[in-house]
Every structure is written in C-alpha cells, then in structure tokens.
Amino acid sequence: MLELVRGYAAAVFDEAEAAGRLEGAVAALDAVRGAVVSSERLRGALTDGSIPASDRAAVLTDLLEGKVPSEVVALVTFPVLYERAGESPKTYELLLELAESRKAQAAVGEPIEPEPPIGRAGAMERLRGFAERTFERLDDQSAVDAIEDELFRFARIAEQHHGLRAAIAGPLTALEARLEIVDDLLAGKVRPETIALIGYVLRTGRARDLVGTVDYLVNLAAAERGRRVADVRAAVELGEDERTRLAAALGRLVRRTVELRIVVDPSVIGGIRVSVGDTVIDGTIRHRLEQLRDSLLLPS
C-alpha cells in the first residue's frame, strides 16, 4: 500500500471517528472488501490496467454511492486512482486492518498512536495523502486560502520560538502531550483543518523538522488553488446549464469543487479543451483532426 494511501486513510478515519461513524465505516469497508474478493467481475474491472484509472474509480463510485458512507466511497476509490491496477484487493485488506485497529483503540478510549516509523520521503507522502483528503472536503476556495495562511504563520512562530519547538519535539514528550500543546496554542484561533494537519505532522514523527514540514504543507495548500480552477477553451460561449453540468462533471473527476474560467477560442473549431491542475481533457474537433492526421502519417 502506498504511503500516500495510508495518509489519506488516516484522515478518513479521523473524520469518521469525529462524526461517531467509525464503527459503520469499518463495517462498510469490510463489505466492500468482501465484494471485491467474491465478485470476479468487479475484481476484474478494478484490476484491469487497460481501463483508465479515472474510469475504474468512476465505476466504483457509481456502484457504491448511496449504499455506503461517503467517506468510505472516497477511501476505496482513492487507491484506484494512484496505485497499480492489480493492487486494489490487497490494499483493501490492509485498509481494513488499519480501520479495525483504529476502532479497537477508540473502543477503549486509547489515544491515537504515532504512525509507524518511516523515512522523510515516506512521511511526506503520508502527509500529502492526509492533506489530499483534508482539502478535497472543502467547498470554498477561501477556506484553502485561510488554511495556507494559518499554516504559514504557525511555521514562522515555531521558527522564531525555540522553546515551542523544544516542547513539541522533546525526546521525552509523548505524542498525546505534543498534540495537546498544539491544541492549546491554536484552538479557537485557526480552522480545525489547520490543527489536524499540524497534528498529523507530529503523528508521522516529523516534530524535529516541524518548521520545514509545515512549510511543505503550505506548498501543498498553494498548489491546491490550481487544482480548483478549470481553464476551459471553447469554440462558442457556454450556456448556464452547460456550465453547471461541466462544473459538476469536473468536480467528480478531481474530487473537489471547481471554478470554471472560460475562454472563447474559435481556433479550437468545436468542442472544448479543459485543464484542471495536471489533468487535461481535450475534446476539441481540432484535437481529433490532429490525431487522425498523425495516424495517417504513421508508416503502414
């Protein structure tokens, strides 16, 4: 299982536990895992590398929406987008193990345990996964901007105050105490998502590089802005209904609310070209003509 997926799962389990839905989420995850194991057709569709990952994730979403909690839908589709096609069944087994362990801790009131030790690169991937889930739940771009600013200001405060860094990163300071220090310092002053992100920095064992790791989260928040704006080039102006349907379709694709920025460009000839972050969708007639031309030029 990718460390990216592990971090994403940690955010989902935090979300479910805070809402009192952890037990239900574990049961739903178990049901999905069982369906994948028992259904040859479903398992084949999820593990078929010839099918684009976005299409496999869309099929799974359509199958599960309204039947299992929304956070479980997000959790089981996320690995489909990022892991190799054949890894999904094994990943679901590992996710279920993590979920059951978290449920057992919550049942007896145990505090959240530190993440298993890992190197810097792996810890950063876990943080990226945790941040991915945190950001995709935000409907308002202004919330992303606020979190970016709050993370930046916290990093600068920590940078300037050796005593704060020493208290948080002290070798004898337990994780629960570190989390309490951050909560006491920030509760009521910043968004809950900001506290959760900084808390996960501590849970992944990055307390000694607190400033550098929080600055990494600042960069992720800045990049999130670009993932929420869809640059659309169309041959003609789009009507309000077309804009609404396009925004909804793109939102499902990138798993977050997007803002359309439309440019009318007659050179596209027909159709539209969309770019959202790193995702590019070219459905223009010009593009299709260029593909046809290239295929005709290939040696027979």
**Mean pLDDT calculated for residue range 216-242:** 84
Say whether both 99 and 124 belong to one domain. no
Of 107, 128, 146, the one marking the end of a domain is 107
Give the domain extent around 284: 228-297
- Answer whether residue 298 shows pLDDT above 70: no
pLDDT tens digits, 164-217: 888 888 876 788 999 999 999 999 999 999 999 999 999 999 988 999 999 999
> Are 232 and 193 part of one and the same domain?
no
Question: Which tens digits make up the pLDDT trace of 257-283?
Answer: 777 878 888 776 667 778 776 677 775
**Looking at the structure, do residues 173 and 94 belong to the same domain, yes or no?**
no
Within-domain flag for 247: yes
* CATH code of 12's domain: 1.10.520
Whether 168 and 202 have beta carbons less than 8 Å apart is answered as yes
| Domain boundary pick from 164, 195, 224 | 224
Provide the 10 A C-beta neighbour count for residue 188.
Answer: 6
Q: Residue 257: helix, strand or coil by DSSP?
A: coil
Tell me, what's the pLDDT at 296?
43
pLDDT mean over 239-246: 84
Structural domain contains residue 113: no
Percent of the chain with pLDDT over 90: 49
The token pair at 52 is: 């684009």
The pTM for the full model equals 0.83
Distance CA 241, CA 249 (A): 12
Give the 3-state DSSP-derived string for 66-82, with helices as H, strands as E and coil as C: CCECHHHHHHHHHHHHH
Q: Assess whether 215 and 234 both reside in one domain.
A: no
The predicted model gives 149-158 an average pLDDT of 94
Report how many domains make up the chain. Answer: 3
Same domain, 136 and 217: yes
The whole-angstrom separation of Cα 250 and Cα 293 is: 29
Q: What is the three-class DSSP state of 234?
A: strand
pLDDT of residue 283: 59
Higher pLDDT, 153 or 291: 153
Q: What is the pLDDT of residue 196?
A: 96
- Looking at every residue in the chain, the average pLDDT score rounds to 86
Flag whether pLDDT at 121 surpasses 90.
yes
**Do 151 and 182 have their domain in common?**
yes
Same-domain check for residues 83 and 155: no
Reported as a pLDDT band with limits 50, 70 and 90, residue 299 is low
**Least reliable range by pLDDT among 33-47, 75-89, 257-271:** 257-271
Cα radius of gyration rounded to whole Å, the chain = 22
In the listed set 224, 247, 271, which residue is the last one of a domain according to the structure? 224
Higher confidence at residue 241 or residue 76? 76
How far from 98 is each of 92, 113, 118, CA to CA, in Å?
Answer: 10, 12, 17
Residues 284 and 205 in one domain: no
The verdict on 45 and 90 lying in the same domain is yes
Q: Decide if 216 is inside a domain.
A: yes
Asked if 127 and 208 sit in the same domain, the reply is yes
Q: Is residue 199 part of a domain?
A: yes
Shared domain for 22 and 103, answered yes or no, is yes
219 with 132, same domain?
A: yes
